[in-house]
Amino acid sequence: MSDPLGLTTQALAAIGQARTDEELEKVEVEYLGRKSGHVSRLLSNIGSLPPAEKAALGKAANDAKRAIEAALAARRAELEAARLADLAETEAIDMTFPGPPLKRGHIHVLTQVRREIETVLESLGYKVELGPEVETEWYNFEALNIPAGHPAREAWDSFYFSPELLLRAHTSPVQIRAMQRIKEPPIYIINPGRAYRRDPPEATRLPYFSQVEGLAVDKGLTVGDLKGTLLYMIQSLYGRDRKVRVRPSYFPFTEPSFEFDVSCGICGGMGCKSCRHKGWLEVGGCGMVHPQVLRNGGIDPTRWNGYAWGFGIERMAMLKHDVDDIRLFYESDLRFLEQF
């Protein structure tokens, strides 16, 4: 359209007919668009006109632009005023109407499993003992019969703040602290909490993990008592179809020592990725408490003996929910966590 006056008249008519902000937006683009708007096209050949015509056309185009912009602003104000006038009817809020249900979270799956373990063992008379995550070398190693230079320290290598202070590699130091505090057996305790080791992340281990350990100190305790306790715990958590086995092993703080395995629930013992095609998942270690560890805790090993065990709560959660990668518990993926 080459007539600025006619263009303005047509634009004002279109603006007057617009009933929504979206329609006004289309009119604005059609007439005032930078590249394809009618006003822009009106000035597309202005450079070829004589100076007098060029000035007249420029003034007429600017007048048309200002008139259209003013009409757009006025129409938007009218539409907003009409919306506000009808607000009580069209957008009324019924304060008595029930609101949408709130999305509620739940405790993490590892916390769920930890609490279940605590409940089962508390039913046997065990008490929960907690301790610091930052420990001294004496409580973390030496009191547990792991002196400086002992090769077993490599397996529990942790993160040091100083030569004497480190993040605990297991919750076993809590057992020493509990024996020193209680002093007189019988002692039946469990020690849940976070532990740290310098392990590379992979499907079955992490450099940080949750652990629970148990300690029983009394008279006449045997390996049969130890295995019976573990079997009761596993079958209480996972059902009577799960099997338990102990294999001879070595730990500086127990003698004799055993590895503690549970049959894989994913493959039913046939072998799969989660159990490395063995049919069993290694859960942790156990054994009869070494006499020197009892002495370090202030207990006379000639009068008392005990057994202890320790395992990762993540491993227990993997067994309970048939999860094949331990890293899933810490990736904060709601698609995974909301399943529990």
Mean pLDDT of 33-51: 71
H helix or E strand, kind and range, residue 68: helix 51-85
Residue 217: pLDDT over 90: yes
Stretch 105-119: mean pLDDT: 93
Q: Residue 116 belongs to a domain with what CATH number? A: 3.30.930.10
Domain co-membership, 80 together with 120: no
Q: Report which residue type is found at 228.
A: G
Q: Does residue 102 sit within a domain?
A: no
User: pTM for the complete prediction?
Assistant: 0.68
Tokens at residue 8, please? 């303005």
Sheet with 280-289, side-by-side order of all strands: 127-128, 187-196, 208-218, 305-312, 280-289, 254-263, 244-251
pLDDT tens for each residue of 225-271: 999 999 999 989 888 888 888 999 999 999 999 998 888 777 777 77
Whether residues 54 and 17 share a domain: the answer is yes
User: How far are the Cα atoms of 109, 131, 231, 312 from residue 273, in angstroms, in the given order?
Assistant: 22, 35, 24, 19
Summarised one tens digit per residue, pLDDT across range 49-104 is 777 776 777 777 777 778 888 888 888 888 888 877 776 666 667 778 788 888 88
Is the Cβ–Cβ distance between 304 and 183 less than 8 Å?
Answer: no
The answer on pLDDT for 13 being more than 80 is: yes
Domain check: are 249 and 303 in the same one?
Answer: yes
Q: Are residues 148 and 210 in the same domain?
A: yes
Q: Choose between 215 and 71: higher pLDDT.
A: 215
pLDDT > 90: percent of the chain = 44
Contacts of 159 (CB under 8 A, 6+ apart): 166, 167, 196, 198
Does 103 reside within a domain?
no
For the CA atoms of 152, 157, 163, 164, the dihedral, rounded to the nearest 10 degrees, stands at -70
119: tokens are: 């409940």
Distance CA 328, CA 123 (A): 30
Residue range(s) defining the domain that contains residue 248? 109-337
Structure tokens that stand for 283 in this block: 């859960």
Does one domain contain both 86 and 235?
no
**Chain mean pLDDT for the chain:** 86
Tokens of 215: 């300690």
In angstroms, the CA 222 to CA 234 distance is 19
Judge whether residue 2 has pLDDT over 90.
no
- DSSP output for 49-66: S-HHHHHHHHHHHHHHHH
Residue 101 DSSP class: P
Residue 97 in domain: no
- What is the torsional sign of CA 27, 29, 31, 32? positive
Do 149 and 256 have their domain in common?
yes
Residues 26 and 158 in one domain: no
Q: Which residue has the higher pLDDT, 192 or 53?
A: 192
Residues 135 and 245 occupy one common structural domain: yes
